[in-house]
């Protein structure tokens, strides 16, 4: 279901990891002669967890523990796996030990530094399949900088309770931090990161400092303040764009090491993340409070190594392979207009509960601005069962009650029903099951 080419053993040759749904995951080491060797077993990549097949969906690669080698996170039908690179050609699954053993049906995952503190965090997208009744809530794991993670999904409203299949990460609004675009089967979700790093302060989180992903799907009015927010942010980031000459044009496979004093971050530019997707090809390094980079080393697939020293941090650097004498600092144009990303949802509807139900159920929904709200309930053949025209409602979290009766007040038969939700420019359809 997923595959990635990356250099797991640090020999500058791209190796191959294949995540299989109905078969064992495989790690192939590059023999440097155009062939690969299957090293899955000797590397510790196992095919059974707690006696069950893994059922892989997608994967991502990143150095979450900042030890200069690349680790693997694999999403599965059951629990997900974090393969920590031991630096000697072997891997150890530490998902449960470090707090990322997600139990939903995982699809997309990506190591990203969403708060720019210099440590890779992890975002995982879940989507139910085969009516497994597993969670659809996405997970945002924050790196505690001690080798472990803590789940901050609820605190930052990053759950997006929809049946998802993929996502992509990048700085959509160009304000200095990474955002997420999540692909769902009932409409897509743009998660705008508007985090003030002050949330690290150990005190109860207030509404004001829950802005990181709390502002989901609201109008993108924050984009117009991108330049000022980027300049005022406590945790700055460095964005790097690569141009290959002897290597491929985008510099895929280039390993980048950024050193600030004794602290080193390592990333490899990889094409393909999660399930059938890819993140932005711009590499992003969180610099926390640093303003100067002591050294930056680019190891290109061609074998060329470019090293730059004593660089003052800027928003973006553009490096061209083999041209060590010069690099480009991308400058934010003055008077830049805010980007409009099409229509932004006014509302979101969630899965009814309980489900299955008998004879009554509740359908939760959320309005991000005042809207006219309508619900329609249909049979699988398209016959209208019941209609609720709720009129204009104020923003906030709400729910609709259905007693399992049609418009004539008659109790409907057992079976699958669909509810259609309309609010502003948002339309969504979900399935529910009346079981007597």
**Residue 297 is inside which H or E element, if any?**
strand 292-299
Q: What per-residue string of b and e applies to 152-184 under the rule 16 or more CB within 10 Å gives b?
A: bbebbbbbbbbbbbbbbbbbbbbbbbbbbbbbb
pLDDT at 144: 94
Q: Which two tokens stand for residue 64?
A: 């979450």
pLDDT of residue 156: 83
Over residues 280-313, the pLDDT tens digits come to: 888 999 988 787 889 999 999 998 999 988 887 7
Distances (CA, A) of 67 to 100, 290, 292, 349, 385: 19, 20, 21, 42, 59
Beta carbons of 148 and 184 less than 8 angstroms apart: no
User: Which residues pair with residue 166 across a beta bridge?
Assistant: 183
- Eight-class DSSP state of 176: S
Query: Which percentage of the chain shows pLDDT scores above 90?
Result: 39
Lookup: tokens for 345: 């949802």
Burial category of 342 from C-beta neighbours within 10 Å (exposed 0-12, middle 13-18, buried 19 and up): exposed
Q: Mean of the pLDDT values across residues 63-81?
A: 88
Q: 347-434 has which fold?
A: Immunoglobulin-like (2.60.40)
pLDDT tens track for 207-245: 333 233 333 333 223 333 444 444 444 678 888 999 999
Please report, in angstroms and rounded to a whole number, the separation of the first and last CA atoms in the chain. 37
Tokens for 83, please give them: 């393969």
3-class secondary structure, 197 = helix
Query: For residue 123, is it left (φ>0), alpha (ψ between -120 and 50) or beta?
Result: beta
pLDDT at 224: 35
Cα 433 to Cα 184: distance, rounded to the nearest angstrom: 20
Q: Greater confidence, 172 or 364? A: 364
The angle at the Cα of 119, spanning 234 to 250, to the nearest 5 degrees, equals 100
Lowest-confidence pick of 112-116, 330-334, 380-384: 330-334
pTM to 2 decimal places: 0.67
- Residue 94: its pLDDT value, please? 94
The DSSP H or E segment spanning 97 is: helix 95-98
**CA atoms of 343 and 54, how far apart (whole Å):** 39
Three-class SS of residue 232?
helix
Contact partners, residue 331, CB within 8 Å, separation at least 6: none
Residue of 289, 305, 213 lying closest to 256 (CA atoms): 305
* H/E run at residue 230: helix 226-232
Report the alpha-carbon distance of residue 192 to residue 220 in Å, rounded: 8
Greater confidence, 331 or 95? 95
Least confident of 28-32, 37-41, 78-82: 78-82
Cα–Cα distance measured from residue 173 to residue 182, given in angstroms and rounded to the nearest whole number? 15
Report the alpha-carbon angle 271-272-277, nearest 5: 135
Query: Would you kindly state where each structural domain of the chain is located, as residue ranges?
Result: 3-331, 347-434
What are 55-71's pLDDT values in tens digits? 777 888 999 999 999 99
Task: Tell me the fold of 3-331.
Answer: Methylamine Dehydrogenase; Chain H (2.130.10)
* d(C-alpha 157, C-alpha 410), whole Å: 39
Q: Give yes or no for a contact between 292 and 238, defined as CB atoms under 8 angstroms apart.
A: no
Cα–Cα distance, 313 to 223 (Å, whole number) = 22
């Amino acid at each position: 279901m997923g595959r990635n080419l990356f250099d797991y053993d640090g020999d500058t040759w791209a190796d191959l990891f294949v995540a299989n749904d109905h078969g064992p995951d495989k790690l192939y080491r590059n023999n440097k002669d155009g062939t690969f060797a299957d090293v899955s077993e000797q590397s510790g990549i196992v095919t059974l967890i707690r006696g069950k097949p893994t059922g892989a969906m997608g994967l991502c690669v990143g150095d979450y523990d900042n030890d200069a080698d690349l680790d693997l996170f694999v999403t599965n039908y059951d629990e997900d796996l974090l393969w920590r690179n031991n630096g000697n050609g072997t891997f150890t699954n530490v998902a449960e030990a470090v707090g990322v053993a997600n139990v939903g049906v995982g699809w997309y995952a990506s190591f990203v530094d969403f708060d720019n503190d210099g440590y890779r965090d992890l975002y995982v997208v879940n989507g139910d399949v085969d009516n497994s009744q597993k969670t659809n809530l996405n997970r945002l794991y924050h790196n505690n900088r001690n080798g472990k993670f803590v789940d901050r999904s609820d605190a930052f409203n990053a759950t997006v309770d929809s049946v998802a299949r993929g996502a992509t990460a990048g700085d959509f609004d160009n304000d200095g931090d990474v955002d997420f675009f999540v692909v769902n089967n009932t409409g897509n979700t743009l998660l705008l990161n508007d985090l003030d790093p002050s949330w690290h302060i150990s005190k109860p989180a207030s509404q004001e400092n829950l802005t990181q992903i709390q502002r989901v799907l609201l109008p993108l009015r924050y984009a117009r303040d991108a330049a000022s927010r980027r300049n005022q942010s406590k945790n700055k980031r460095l964005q790097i764009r690569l141009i290959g000459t002897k290597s491929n044009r985008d510099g895929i496979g280039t390993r980048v090491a950024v050193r600030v004093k004794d602290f080193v971050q390592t990333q490899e530019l990889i094409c393909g993340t999660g399930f059938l997707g890819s993140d932005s090809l711009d590499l992003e390094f969180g610099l926390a409070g640093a303003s100067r980079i002591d050294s930056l080393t680019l190891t290109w697939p061609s074998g060329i190594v470019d090293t730059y020293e004593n660089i003052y941090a800027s928003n973006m650097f553009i490096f061209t392979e083999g041209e060590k004498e010069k690099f480009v600092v991308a400058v934010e144009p003055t008077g830049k207009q805010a980007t409009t990303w099409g229509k932004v949802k006014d509302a979101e509807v969630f899965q009814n509960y309980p489900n299955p139900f008998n004879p009554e159920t509740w359908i939760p929904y959320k309005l991000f601005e005042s809207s006219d709200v309508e619900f329609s309930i249909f049979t699988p053949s398209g016959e209208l069962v019941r209609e609720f025209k709720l009129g204009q409602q104020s923003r906030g979290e709400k729910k609709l009650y259905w007693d399992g009766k049609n418009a004539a007040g008659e109790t409907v038969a057992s079976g699958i029903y669909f509810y259609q939700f309309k609010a502003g420019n948002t339309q969504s359809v979900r399935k529910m099951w009346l079981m007597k």
